[in-house]
C-alpha cells in the first residue's frame, strides 16, 4: 500500500506502508542507532513523534517480549529505508510489521532516509503527517501544519501509569526508591533493583505528600515525552521535595529539576536521538558514549551558579548534559544511563545515587 510522509514545510516523501494503515501526525525526528529498534519504539519518550531510523535496514531480528521498554509502543510512526521481510533471531516471536499493526502504529519504508535526515538537520525537527489514506499533497501539508506538535503540550499524562505499583520488593534490599513515572523505561527500574533498591512506581500526578508518605530513601524522576514546561504539576511537586530527600533525574526528570530550581528550558533544533552521543564528565574528564532521546534542553546559564554545578557536557554541540546541587543531595543527567538500547558506559550513575542515599538516614517526612 502506498504511504506518504509530508512535512509542514511542504516536503513530500512517498513510500510503501508496513504495520497499521491510517493517518498519524507528530514531530518527525531522526534516530542514529544501528540496532535496538524494539527498545526505541517502546520508549514512552517518543509519544507525539514520528521516528526516522538512519540505519538503512530495520526488522531483521524481529520482536520479542523481553526487549520491550514499556507496556506498549507510544510513537506515532516509524520511517525506515528498508523493512526486512525476514526476521532471523533465536528470540524472535513476531515480525516488526506485525507488532506495529497489532499496536496500531504506522510504518513507511522505501523512502530516502538519508535525504530526510539531512533535511531535518538543516531545517530542524518539524511537524509532519504519515498517511495511507490521503494522497492529496496539499491536503497533507495542511494537516501537518495544523497538528499540535510538542511545544506547550503535556504528553506525560498520556503515557504515565494510573495506579501505584511495586516494581520490585525484597526484604534484603538496602534502599527504598520512589520512581515518578513520567514515561519511565523498564531498564531504569531494573538498574535500581541491581543496585540494591526496592522500587515503588507512582503516577506523574502523585503529590509530594503521597511520595513522602512512602518514606523513601530517594526519589528518581524518570524520562518522558514532550515539553517539560508543560508538565507544571510535576515541577511544583519537585519544588516541595528539594532538600527533603536525595533526588536523581533522568532526561525529562533532568529538565524538570532544572525548572524546579528556577532555571529555563529551550527546544533544540533537531534534538538528540540515538545510542552514540559522546558526553564528557567534567569531574573525571572521562567521555562516555551515551544513549539519548530528547528535544529540549536545560539552559545551564539560567541556574544559580552559587548552588548548581555543571557536571556533563555534550561533545557534539556543547549543550548541558548534567548538573548537581553543591549543597543538597540532588543530581541529574540529560542522557540515559540505563541505555536500552546503547552502551553501558554511564551505568555508574545509579551507584552514585545509592551513595547519596547512604548518608542521612534520619529524614523529616
Rounded CA-CA distance 363/308 in Å is 23
- Tracing cell 515539553 back to the chain, one arrives at 227
Rounded CA-CA distance 224/183 in Å is 4
184, 204 Cβ separation under 8 angstroms: no
CATH class of residue range 156-358: alpha beta
Rounded CA-CA distance 221/233 in Å is 13
- 338 catalytically annotated: yes
Torsions phi, psi of 66, nearest 5? -65, -35
Rounded CA-CA distance 317/128 in Å is 25
- 294 catalytically annotated: no
pLDDT of amino acid 168: 82
Q: How many CB atoms lie within 10 A of CB 278?
A: 14
Per-residue pLDDT of the chain (365 residues; tens, 9 = 90+): 999 999 999 999 999 999 999 999 999 999 999 999 999 999 999 999 999 999 999 999 999 999 999 999 999 999 999 999 999 999 999 999 999 999 999 999 999 999 999 999 999 999 999 999 999 999 999 999 999 999 999 999 999 999 999 998 888 999 999 999 999 999 999 999 999 999 999 999 999 999 999 999 999 999 999 999 999 999 999 999 999 999 999 999 999 999 999 999 999 999 999 999 999 999 999 999 999 999 999 999 999 999 999 999 999 999 999 999 999 999 999 999 999 999 999 999 999 999 999 966 555 54
Instruction: Give me the residue spans of the domains in the chain.
Output: 2-146, 156-358
| Architecture field, domain 2-146 | 3-Layer(bba) Sandwich (3.50)
* 341 upstream amide cis, omega within 30 of 0: yes
Name the active-site residue from 119, 254, 294, 336.
336
User: Is this structure's pTM higher than 0.85?
Assistant: yes
Torsions phi, psi of 257, nearest 5? -65, -40
pLDDT of amino acid 82: 98
Residue of 221, 224, 171, 179 lying closest to 199 (CA atoms):
179
pLDDT of amino acid 365: 47
Name the active-site residue from 251, 273, 277, 332.
251
pLDDT of amino acid 169: 86
pLDDT of amino acid 127: 98
Residue of 242, 250, 229, 228 lying closest to 333 (CA atoms):
250
32, 276 Cβ separation under 8 angstroms: yes
DSSP string, 107-148: EEESS-HHHHHHHHHHH--EEEEEESS---HHHHHHHHHHS-
- 336 catalytically annotated: yes
DSSP string, 246-313: -EEEETHHHHHHHHHTT-EEEEEEEEEEEEEEEEEETTT--EEEEEEEEEEEEEGGGS-TTTEEEEEE
Name the active-site residue from 8, 69, 191, 338.
338
Amino acid at each position: 500500500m502506498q504511504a506518504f510522509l509530508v512535512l509542514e514545510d511542504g516536503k513530500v516523501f512517498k513510500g510503501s506502508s508496513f504495520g497499521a494503515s491510517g493517518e498519524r501526525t507528530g514531530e518527525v525526528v531522526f534516530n542514529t542507532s544501528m540496532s535496538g529498534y524494539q527498545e526505541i519504539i517502546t520508549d514512552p519518550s517518543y509519544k507525539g513523534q514520528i521516528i526516522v531510523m538512519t540505519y538503512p535496514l530495520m526488522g531483521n531480528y524481529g520482536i520479542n517480549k523481553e526487549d520491550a521498554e514499556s507496556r506498549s509502543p507510544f510513537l506515532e510512526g516509524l520511517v525506515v529505508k528498508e523493512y526486512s521481510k525476514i526476521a532471523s533471531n533465536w528470540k524472535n516471536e513476531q515480525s516488526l510489521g506485525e507488532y506495529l499493526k497489532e499496536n496500531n502504529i504506522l510504518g513507511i519504508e522505501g523512502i530516502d532516509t538519508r535525504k530526510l535526515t539531512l533535511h531535518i538537520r538543516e531545517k530542524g525537527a518539524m511537524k509532519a503527517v504519515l498517511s495511507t489514506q490521503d494522497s492529496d499533497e496539499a491536503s497533507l501539508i495542511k494537516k501537518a501544519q495544523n497538528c499540535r506538535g510538542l511545544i506547550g503540550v503535556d504528553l506525560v499524562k498520556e503515557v504515565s501509569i494510573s495506579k501505584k505499583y511495586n516494581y520490585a520488593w525484597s526484604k534484603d534490599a538496602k534502599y527504598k526508591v520512589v520512581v515518578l513515572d513520567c514515561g519511565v523505561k523498564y531498564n531504569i527500574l531494573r538498574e535500581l533493583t541491581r543496585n540494591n533498591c526496592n522500587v515503588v512506581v507512582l503516577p506523574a500526578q502523585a503529590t509530594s505528600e503521597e511520595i513522602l508518605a512512602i518514606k523513601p530513601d530517594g526519589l528518581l524522576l524518570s524520562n518522558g515525552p514532550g515539553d517539560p514546561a508543560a508538565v507544571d504539576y510535576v515541577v511544583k511537586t519537585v519544588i516541595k521535595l528539594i532538600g527533603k530527600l536525595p533526588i536523581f533525574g533522568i532526561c525529562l526528570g533532568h529538565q524538570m529539576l532544572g525548572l524546579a530550581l528556577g532555571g529555563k528550558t529551550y527546544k533544540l533544533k533537531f534534538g538528540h536521538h540515538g545510542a552514540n552521543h559522546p558526553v564528557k564528565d567534567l569531574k573525571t574528564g572521562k567521555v562516555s558514549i551515551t544513549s539519548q532521546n530528547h528535544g529540549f534542553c536545560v539552559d545551564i546559564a539560567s541556574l544559580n551558579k552559587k548552588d548548581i554545578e555543571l557536571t556533563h557536557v555534550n561533545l557534539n554541540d556543547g549543550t548541558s548534559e548534567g548538573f548537581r546541587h553543591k549543597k543538597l543531595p540532588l543530581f541529574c543527567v540529560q542522557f540515559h544511563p540505563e541505555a536500552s538500547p546503547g552502551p553501558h558506559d554511564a551505568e555508574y550513575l545509579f551507584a552514585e545515587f545509592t551513595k547519596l542515599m547512604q548518608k542521612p538516614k534520619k529524614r523529616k517526612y
